[in-house]
Structure 1
């Protein structure tokens, strides 16, 4: 299987990288780019590249923008997944992406923390959620051949702790940002109760660590 660290090119790809690099922490940016590579490797592994629903540019948009709601552009007025999806959709519309494709990216981002739902909402939602999951160590064996190369180019930088910090900070801004049983709401409650979250504890068992 061929693999390259090349990213999509062009004005939209440049705008996507610019918005995450200027609004998110470096560790979250690296996590998002790794999620793209892992999702792409998963698509190759599962034979999805010839699927009519597979679109590398939309996969890049969904994975790299999936945590935009944890960055400086998010106001903490809704769940971080929804705020991020709204911000991503606005960016895609500015670049004249077709409305149906904007909706697909919005859905993939909004559902990336929704197990059992994202997997049933089409290939883009599935690959986005699973690419993110691989960066947390789920199904790591699929990418084991290439993970050192990817991590060398985009190091983790204590990603899990940095991401939890960002999610919790925004969840604390309003009740709407932290509804019961949402990931933001639960991480906020865990951090307040114990000082550490289940996501951070789970990182110790991940093959990648934090």
Structure 2
């Protein structure tokens, strides 16, 4: 499973980005960032990997919209790592005996520890990934958790974090991001992956967790979940 992701920092849809979108699809070019991106594109489907990358790009734009400055209010390195690895728990291989948010957080923490990140930074990324589906709590755990959840929310078509406006992302910026990292069948792929993991083991989808609820809503025979219906009627139409 691979994703067509340029290796350089300044990427764009066609190499002729306008002034309004210059740099909007730029990715961090550090060894941990490159390694994390390589891991994600190797183990996740293209549509889920693209979603993770877009979530970072949207999160960065949401930070801009609120006046947050990288290096002052938030750490862009950690924002990228948390966003790009937030769905590692949906990768099909490996044991899945707890909800996917924790599987992904644990896997990301192990990976970042192996790549030499300090324990405090590893813990910050773990927390942001573990809480990314948890409304109200994530927003109160600092800028990293808030921005990760916000970026993911914008990619699903709306803001998940209180006080953040997804319309702060311009149509030009959204077009550049979606051109570089197409949506493909993102929403159905993510719902299928979460429901599939939840169905494998009771601990993967506890009652009232996202996994448990999506599995219940998906039903048998399968039917669209509320998440899918909402995304299809959102700004990105899926």
Compute the displacement of 1:144 (Å): 2.2
Q: Is the 8 A contact 1:120 1:126 kept in 2?
A: yes
Q: 1:172 to 1:23 in 2, by over 3 A?
A: same
Question: Which protein shows a greater Rg?
Answer: 2
Q: Deviations over 1:43-73 (max 9, x none)?
A: 1111111563411110000001011101134
Tell me, in whole angstroms, the C-alpha distance in 2 between the residues paired with 1:37 and 1:98: 24
Task: Name the residue aligned to 2:8.
Answer: none
- For 1:190-201, list aligned pairs within 5 A: 190-193=217-220, 195-201=223-229
Q: Is the 8 A contact 2:88 2:108 kept in 1?
A: yes
Could you tell me which runs of 5 or more consecutive residues in structure 2 were left unpaired when the two chains were aligned: 1-19, 159-164
For these two proteins, the number of residue pairs brought into alignment is: 210
Counterpart of 2:230 (choices 198, 202, 208) is: 202
Matched, 1:142 2:162: no
Task: Name the residue aligned to 1:179.
Answer: 206
Could you tell me which runs of 5 or more consecutive residues in structure 1 were left unpaired when the two chains were aligned: none
TM-score (norm 2): 0.84
Matched, 1:43 2:63: yes
Q: 1:42 to 1:124 in 2, by over 3 A?
A: same
Task: Name the residue aligned to 2:15.
Answer: none
Task: Name the residue aligned to 1:161.
Answer: 188
Task: Name the residue aligned to 2:215.
Answer: 188
Q: 1:72 to 1:59 in 2, by over 3 A?
A: same
Q: Is the 8 A contact 1:74 1:83 kept in 2?
A: no
Task: Name the residue aligned to 2:179.
Answer: 152
Compute the displacement of 1:192 (Å): 1.6
- For 1:80-99, list aligned pairs within 5 A: 80-99=100-119
Tell me, in whole angstroms, the C-alpha distance in 1 between the residues paired with 2:169 and 2:236: 12
Task: Name the residue aligned to 1:105.
Answer: 125
Tell me, in whole angstroms, the C-alpha distance in 1 between the residues paired with 2:223 and 2:64: 40
Tell me, in whole angstroms, the C-alpha distance in 1 between the residues paired with 2:217 and 2:116: 41
Tell me, in whole angstroms, the C-alpha distance in 2 between the residues paired with 1:209 and 1:89: 33
Matched, 1:121 2:141: yes
Counterpart of 2:54 (choices 28, 31, 34) is: 34
Structure 1 window deviating more from structure 2 (107-116 vs 45-54): it is 45-54
Q: Is the 8 A contact 2:40 2:88 kept in 1?
A: yes
Q: Is the 8 A contact 2:62 2:166 kept in 1?
A: no
